[in-house]
Structure 1
Amino acid sequence: MKRFKLINNIFGWFTFAIAAVTYLLTMEPTASFWDCPEFIASAFKFEVGHPPGAPLSALFGHFFSLFAKDNSHVAIMVNSFTALCSAFTILFLFWTITHLARKVIIKSEADFTKANIIGVIGAGLVGALAYTFSDTFWFSAVEAEVYGFSALFTAVVFWLILKWEDVADEPGSDRWLVVLAYLMGLSIGVHLLNLLAIPVVVMVYYLKKYTPSFKGVLLALLGGGVILGAILYGLIPGFVEVAGWFELFFVNQLGFAFNTGLFVYIILVFSSLIWAIYESYVDKNRLRMYVSFILAVSITGIPFLGARLLVGLIIIIGLSVFFYYRRSKISARWLNTIVMMVVMVLIGYSSYTIIMIRSSANPTMDQNNPDNLFSLRYYLNREQYPDSPLLFGSTYNAPVKFVADGNGYAPVQKEKGHSFYSLKTKKSAGDKDEYIVVGHKGDNEYEMDEHFDMFFPRMYDSNPRSIEAYKYWGKITGLPVSYEYCGQQKTDMKPTFIENMRFFFNYQINFMYWRYFMWNFSGRQNDMQGNGEVEHGNWITGISFIDNLLVGNQEKMPSQLKENKGRNTYFMLPLLLGVIGIFFLLYGGKSGIEKFWLIMLLFLLTGIAIVVYLNQSPYQPRERDYAYAGSFYAFSIWIGMGVLGIIRLINKYLTKLPRTVTAAIVVVFCLGVPALMAQQNWDDHDRSNRYTCRDFGQNYLSSCKTNAIIFTMGDNDTFPLWYNQEVEGFRTDVRVCNLSYLQADWYIGQMKREAYSSKPLPISWDPKDYEPGKNEMVEVDSLMPSLDVKTAYNFILSSDPQTKIQGQSFIPTNHLFLPVDAQQVIKSGTLPASRASEIIPQINFDLRRGVSRSDLMIIELLKENNWKRPVYFAISIGGEYLGLKDHFELTGLTYQIVPVGAKGAGVGVNTDELYNNMMTKFKFGNIADPKVYLDETTLNMCHSHRAMFVYLIGDLIKKGDVVRAKKALDYCNKVIPGSTVRHDFGSLHLAEFYYMLNEPAKGNAIMDDVANDCVENLDWYLSFDKSKLGGLSDQINQNLGILYQILRTCDQAKQKNILNKYLPRYTEYTKRLQI
């Protein structure tokens, strides 16, 4: 046994070393796209990231950032933290597998033979290394996200409960459970995914302490679910909720200062907990023990599920009745342990105090401004995000319910939920502290017609794009439903429950879970995000005849798909090994069956249960495989068990072969599976030497003049900019303003504060004018032909009742205009004096039926700014930009608003500024290096940069500046070469420019690349069965269109080589398709 422990520890640390070296070598040296730049900024300066936050992750990330030699190395240190967390996850996975394997095949000291030890250690190596090199986990391990740290908590918790199993009957074994509770509490400050391990912990406890039975297993599962719900829906929101009741009472009712109720509550909580611990420890008075226990549990908020007072009171009464009738059978030791575990969870959960403390200091990044209990509750509950129905709700086409009132029909408002409170703005220093109600959960939400309600609704999103996807995945025909709508009888088709479940299985289970599962254990087609297309993001095997059936003829597959670094094939070997491991446990006697169900429970809770809970709608912004990493962790345990299954199978049929030799040979051969995974996955998980996120973020900022304001919208045009400013101190004079946040009162307040060398945004509105619930959406009524912005805004902010409709502000015209001060435009340098004649007298805004607060703020800013500071929109923002598009001039990755242009003029180009920015300021993150991995997100950004070059070169040629045009064209192909960023339709313009500049060879090279891709694509598409061609019509038409454009351009440019090469192919395709 001692020898085994030594070997087990040595090989455990060996797997850790392999994982750590792998992750440290392949991690990104700076920020990655999506949430990572925000997490790094949050860790570096203890700032407040997006809800619900990850304060513990920020704490550890900050600690690692202290070892950075300068600010440019902060990101790599925070990334290193994630890499090491992930490596430690592999360490505990190894020890978990060897523990479970030992329990199955080693029953006594005599079973510690060389063969068994080799088998157990080999199982740990194969399973742990398979997960090390798995697609999903490796992706999360090399960037500054929370999933690596969260996975470590899950791994440690599972390992600890198994270690407890070994000492469960020894004195003091309860301390392991207390440590588990502490880890659970800590994990809340990272990610809630770890809490899904609770039912597994309960099941291990049950199997160890009781004789298993069907009824007992069901009760254990129920108990695990109750504990999970008590923490997730009870303690986490309940603690803040009850604290809020105390705070309201002490501040609003008794007149004390802010936070008095909070401090009183904390004192009462820990006093009651200490009392409960004392009473259950001394066990001298049962009544006091029970009262102290119920008080301790109640005051922490656990009974108040979903912050509901009535539910809490019912649970407390029920608990009291239970204690009364079971008083003689309740163990003081158990009560003591439970209270101690609650204390540990609260201590771990207390990491969220960092959020309130830092928010109170008004950092530059302070999302939701959770500086008091009520904004913290809003932050923790993620109430800014829309809810999705879980067990009961409406289908996607449910109409709003209307009822008759005195003026006709009015929509039925949803029942208001809990109140939202805010600090009352003081009018004088003598005013007392007070909280005021500024809204309710469910405000501006309406009831849907109950005829369209459904149990377990999976298709609820009314977005037209989602509806089309529902019809595709659910194969919807529907059933007619009659209902009353504004006094009229109407009939619509409602999806049936069978269609609802078809969508659930086809899309949510198969496409959004099983596809990800198979990526990790069978193979992945490519790294392009899939939405059901045959060529994007599917799972494959590497076995031709299977893949031909799944995703088309593999021999005719286009080279751009064959050469995609994200194409990985494992020939289903990890899957097969895992299946063998499942059967090994199922036929491994009582111990094996128990271990199988433990792993299965973890597998389902971190997989299918998450699918059900998330209830994802189609067309997600990105792939969501990271959410199911825990499920793949569980399957990796089965992979390890597969080694033992093969050893047992060989020993059964090859009895003459020495068992030690058998075990060694099997382990060596099975290690080939993770080796294959490493070989296949390395190129598309190696992010070393890639600086695209940082550099592209800097390019946005470099596109702006000094002291500029830039409007952004999404993660990838906001977070990289924040990272550059907050961490690397780059262009802190530019104020980044995210339009999706500008709707919120807290964000407007932050924009009115100075940030580094950036002055406050020129917004004149008083906080009372944009407090929650006020002017969030202003209706437009065409009572007047037009109004200037200043007059209209005075009308909106007026307190005169005549300027309101049912107490709400409105705009009495759908046409606003903003007068332009031409002298100020020239004085500020917005336009040079040479362009004075182009300046228009006013900028017009054509309004729709309603104007959001965000749009009101944009117009307000333009009004107050009066051209003093340059204002930009990021090119990545979609839409019509409030009709400002006609006044845009391209300067890089931004459009500057300038008072020139007429309606319908479109976007202009500031040629000199664009040239200077792209040729001298822009960085390209090593994208020209063929060794640097460029994923789809990065490539999209690369294509955006190439498109800016097209605008620049086209404008230079138009103006006759041939020298600079040629220089820019060659530079474009140098920094964004076709060898790493494949040429596409947008590159045809580059070829045309080469023809115009009398360099046909370079133009032909681009045309040939794009045309060849079209031909390969069309050949592949047309190899599909006729039954599938209909689903490929868009792709076929797109490629035919591009090929036609190439031929047309080459014909006009008299490039016969390209024309003669591809015209016969084009003619062939049109004949085959009968076009």
Structure 2
Amino acid sequence: MITLAPTVTLWDAGEFITASKVLGVPHPPGTPLFVLLGHVWAQFVVLGQYAWRTNLMSACFSAAGAGCLFLVAQRLLAGEERWLRIGGAAAAAILSAFSFTEWQNSNETEVYTVATFSIAAICWLCLRWRDLRGTERPTHVLLLIIYIAALSIGNHLLALLVGPAVSVFMAYTLRTTPALDPAERRGEWAECATLTALWLTLIAVGLGSTILLILGGALVLGAAVACWMAGSRAFPFVALAVAAIGVSIYAFLYIRSGLHPILDEADPETWNNLLAVIRREQFGSRGIFDNPVYFPGARNPGRNATILTQQFINYFQYCSWQWARSLPLVGMVAVALVFTSLGFFGVTYARRSDAGITYLLGTVWLVTGFGLVIYMNFKPGFSLFWNQYQSIGQHEVRERDYFFVVSFQVWGVFAAFGLVRLIRWASRLYAVAARRGAVALATVIALLPFVFNFRAASRRHGADATVARDVAYNLLQAVEPYGVLFSYGDNDTFPVWYLQEVEGVRQDVTLINLSLANLEWYLRQLASLPLRPFDPAHAPAIYRSLAPPVPPSRPALPLTLADIATLQPFRPAEDQVFQSGPFALPIKKGQVLRTSDQVILYTIAANLGKRAVTFGVSSGRGSWLGLDAHVVFQGLVFKVSPHADTVRQWIRGIQGTMVDTARTRYLTDSVFQFGKLFSVDTIELDPASQQVATSFSVPFLELGNAAAIRGDSATALAYLRRGYHLNPSPQLAEIIRTLFRR
């Protein structure tokens, strides 16, 4: 709780919190289990803000997962003295919980701690199955494993990757300690085959793969025949029923989408749409043999040894982050080498102590580490290989270490076993004093991740603690009552959804995400979006006089469902002019007009002069359709104005557009929130938070430029210094020098 994020964070957290609050449908595959868990949890945990409560849920699942790994480690250390068994298991729990990626995930509302808990719980249940063999209860444990696995599909497919480990563990156990009764022996092997076949079927359901589903179904049928012949006739049918009950969590998406919640991504209210959500069709597909830095298709050169090597380098980079992320590179790598060595020592120790558990954990590590590197086929990471891949589109939009979090946790468990081996070695060879020293050293090593990951993993103490909420708040407050705000990416959309739907701030503003505006289901929802009243209590005082006496009566997007169904990208055969009152926008022959471009034009035509139409500062000029001469910057948005260059009190800013300096000054000085950004060096921020800080620098730079034009050097310098603090780039330093040369 000390490092827990106090509010919403960047990326998917805002969407998940919103979905939990309104029982909505987040992006494919919809994560219905996580949405329901978040909603129920927040109803019972009434302390703190809603976002803090769901963040706490992630932390509790992470702690529960560490507890399960404690039990697994304690079982492997059963032959040791009690103090060493408890201490080694505690070290395993600490190293798994405080590895960088797991700790960071546990501080925000994300699906990954629920997934890691599911895997850890299934690993512990495997040991319970082994203990209960020869009684009437092991079958019950297998059914519970199947249910947890099936239910976990509704959270994240990561949890299903424990399947091969369960099959390996069962097969090894049945082979090395076979039942004495031949009939019982055949029944156990048939149950193992059934579980393996069901796991493949569950993966097929999770991936939406028809081929895998047919193969899995055939294997389930074969396993059922084997169970029938072995005398375990009921097991395959009960197991299939239990799996179906778990998978039925996806009915939540179908039911809730039919009730049209405010957040209803991909609109899975029909079976075809639901299947598309499960298959993630919205995001396209990239084959395992494609080169990820190029578009998939016939011209894709294919995956080669170079890109595969780079992907493994990326994985090992993420491994090096886990144990001392806050240290400089040399120190971080040195600590990583220590834990790598301890892990190898731990594997050899574990193999001699309990080979079954070693194979269980080792298979989990292999599948969730190397296996995922091969299967996911990621582009180069955000922090590597820029000299070779210079386009931002050739890199992942963010670091993908969270996909491999389970492998990092398992290696932490092996490292704890390595510490136990170190203590045993010292105890056998040296005196009591040396043994005590070894225990002290092992304790210090086990606590290294807690000490050296604290600052990097914390979501509470850094400058980015409130940056997601701040960017949402500032964007919304820059828009006039009942205005339209165009956004583009996750980080200027999901936090806004959170602020509007969870905290109820500026619900009168219509947010249109231009990435989603190319999708028919999203446009249908925009066209029927309910209008909500302007609440002066949640808005700047200046807007109270600007609110129209009669609110708008129609949605911002003026299209019927029939219009939306026919909306397609097109190229004009000849030059055209888009006309809306005094506003004229030339469209050149052959210029591609995407669906989202047409949405912009229709929205402007319907609302210009009636309500503000704005672009968020991070939406990019590429979405303006040549509107540069018709926008004015105010606060953090560019407002469309047909006569922007004729208003005398506005000036031309450093971005080339007109600037409403009075409105920008009022918003920046009196309304906007910047959290702790001005109290620390923003260079230490992660890339996403740095981008937000860069956006926040724009109004300060524009105000500094305006003051410099007026000859007010002191005011100009004050604003420019604040802007440079948020965006300390060489390009910005040159702009500031240029301003003072004039």
Equivalent residue letter for 2:718: D
SS of 1:842's partner is: strand
Is the 8 Å Cα contact of residues 203 and 224 (structure 1) preserved in structure 2? Answer: no
1:842 and 2:594 equivalent? no
Alpha-carbon distance in 1 for matches of 2:243, 2:81: 39
**Pair 1:680–1:712, CA change in 2 (3 A):** same
1:988 and 2:733 equivalent? yes
The number of aligned residues is 688
Partner of 2:72: 96
1:909-956: CA deviations, max 9, x gaps?
Answer: 111111111111111122233499843322321222123211122123
SS of 1:843's partner is: strand
Equivalent residue letter for 2:700: F
Partner of 1:615: 377
Equivalent residue letter for 1:346: A
Q: CA deviation at 1:814?
A: 3.4
Alpha-carbon distance in 2 for matches of 1:37, 1:396: 28
**TM-score, with normalisation over the residues of structure 2?**
0.85
1:222-241 alignment runs, 5 A limit:
226-234=197-205, 237=208
1:646 and 2:422 equivalent? yes
SS of 1:844's partner is: strand
1:750 and 2:525 equivalent? yes
1:305 and 2:211 equivalent? yes
Alpha-carbon distance in 2 for matches of 1:352, 1:968: 56
Alpha-carbon distance in 1 for matches of 2:568, 2:638: 27
Partner of 2:544: none
**Pair 1:768–1:717, CA change in 2 (3 A):** same
Partner of 1:942: 693
1:867 and 2:609 equivalent? yes
Equivalent residue letter for 1:196: L
1:677 and 2:443 equivalent? no
Partner of 1:573: 338
Alpha-carbon distance in 2 for matches of 1:866, 1:575: 61
1:498-551: CA deviations, max 9, x gaps?
Answer: xx123202x11112x11111211476776xxxxxxxxxxxxx442xxxxxxxxx
> Could you tell which deviates more after superposition, 218-227 or 680-689?
218-227
Equivalent residue letter for 1:58: V
Alpha-carbon distance in 1 for matches of 2:418, 2:517: 54
SS of 1:883's partner is: coil
1:649-681: CA deviations, max 9, x gaps?
Answer: 234433xx46xx776653332111132222211
Is the 8 Å Cα contact of residues 707 and 716 (structure 2) preserved in structure 1? Answer: no
Alpha-carbon distance in 1 for matches of 2:2, 2:202: 38
Q: CA deviation at 1:900?
A: 2.6
Is the 8 Å Cα contact of residues 324 and 452 (structure 2) preserved in structure 1? Answer: no
% same residue: 24
Once superposed, which parts of structure 1, at least 4 consecutive aligned residues long, lie more than 6 Å away? 218-225, 318-324, 394-398, 902-905
Partner of 1:42: 19
SS of 1:124's partner is: helix
Q: CA deviation at 1:598?
A: 2.5
1:331 and 2:202 equivalent? no
Equivalent residue letter for 2:369: G
Q: CA deviation at 1:879?
A: 4.1
Alpha-carbon distance in 2 for matches of 1:128, 1:645: 17
1:692 and 2:453 equivalent? no
Equivalent residue letter for 1:381: R
**Pair 1:323–1:351, CA change in 2 (3 A):** closer
Alpha-carbon distance in 2 for matches of 1:29, 1:65: 15
Q: CA deviation at 1:320?
A: 6.9
Partner of 2:261: 363
1:44-123 alignment runs, 5 A limit:
44-67=21-44, 73-102=49-78, 106=79, 116-123=81-88
Structure 2 unpaired stretches of 5+: 179-185, 381-394, 534-551, 647-651
Q: CA deviation at 1:201?
A: 1.1
Partner of 2:386: none
Structure 1 unpaired stretches of 5+: 1-23, 107-114, 239-303, 399-444, 459-499, 527-539, 543-566, 782-812, 822-840, 997-1051, 1054-1075
Q: CA deviation at 1:397?
A: 7.6
1:740 and 2:518 equivalent? no
**TM-score, with normalisation over the residues of structure 1?**
0.60
Q: CA deviation at 1:640?
A: 1.7
Q: CA deviation at 1:977?
A: 8.3
Alpha-carbon distance in 2 for matches of 1:176, 1:647: 35
Alpha-carbon distance in 2 for matches of 1:222, 1:322: 6
1:472-509: CA deviations, max 9, x gaps?
Answer: xxxxxxxxxxxxxxxxxxxxxxxxxxxx123202x111
Higher RCO structure, 1 or 2 (CA under 8 Å, sep 6+): 2
Alpha-carbon distance in 2 for matches of 1:946, 1:733: 26
1:970 and 2:733 equivalent? no
Partner of 1:768: 562
Alpha-carbon distance in 2 for matches of 1:345, 1:57: 18
Q: Which of 285, 288, 303 is the matching residue for 1:390?
A: 288
Is the 8 Å Cα contact of residues 580 and 645 (structure 1) preserved in structure 2? Answer: yes
SS of 1:872's partner is: strand
**Pair 1:778–1:630, CA change in 2 (3 A):** same
**Pair 1:931–1:351, CA change in 2 (3 A):** farther
Is the 8 Å Cα contact of residues 416 and 446 (structure 2) preserved in structure 1? Answer: no
1:157-176 alignment runs, 5 A limit:
157-176=122-141
Is the 8 Å Cα contact of residues 203 and 220 (structure 1) preserved in structure 2? Answer: no
Alpha-carbon distance in 1 for matches of 2:221, 2:120: 36
SS of 1:816's partner is: strand
Equivalent residue letter for 2:445: V
1:945-969: CA deviations, max 9, x gaps?
Answer: 1232111221233245x3xx74575
SS of 1:371's partner is: coil
1:587-625: CA deviations, max 9, x gaps?
Answer: x2xx54443332221111111111111111231101100
Q: Which of 778, 783, 786 is the matching residue for 2:570?
A: 778
1:717-754: CA deviations, max 9, x gaps?
Answer: 11111111011111111000001111111111111123
Q: CA deviation at 1:234?
A: 4.6
Is the 8 Å Cα contact of residues 569 and 680 (structure 1) preserved in structure 2? Answer: no
Equivalent residue letter for 2:308: F
Partner of 1:25: 2
1:921 and 2:671 equivalent? yes
> Could you tell which deviates more after superposition, 841-850 or 632-641?
841-850
Equivalent residue letter for 2:501: E
Q: CA deviation at 1:894?
A: 0.9
Is the 8 Å Cα contact of residues 541 and 572 (structure 1) preserved in structure 2? Answer: no
Alpha-carbon distance in 1 for matches of 2:441, 2:192: 38
Is the 8 Å Cα contact of residues 83 and 142 (structure 1) preserved in structure 2? Answer: yes
SS of 2:572's partner is: strand
Alpha-carbon distance in 2 for matches of 1:193, 1:322: 25
Partner of 2:364: 602
Is the 8 Å Cα contact of residues 527 and 560 (structure 2) preserved in structure 1? Answer: no
1:876 and 2:608 equivalent? no
SS of 1:707's partner is: coil
Alpha-carbon distance in 1 for matches of 2:340, 2:530: 52
**Pair 1:510–1:935, CA change in 2 (3 A):** closer
1:324-358: CA deviations, max 9, x gaps?
Answer: 8x69x72342x422222222222222222221222
Partner of 1:208: 173
Alpha-carbon distance in 1 for matches of 2:294, 2:400: 26
* Higher strand proportion: 1
Larger Rg: 1
Alpha-carbon distance in 2 for matches of 1:502, 1:227: 36
Equivalent residue letter for 1:519: W
**Pair 1:42–1:571, CA change in 2 (3 A):** closer
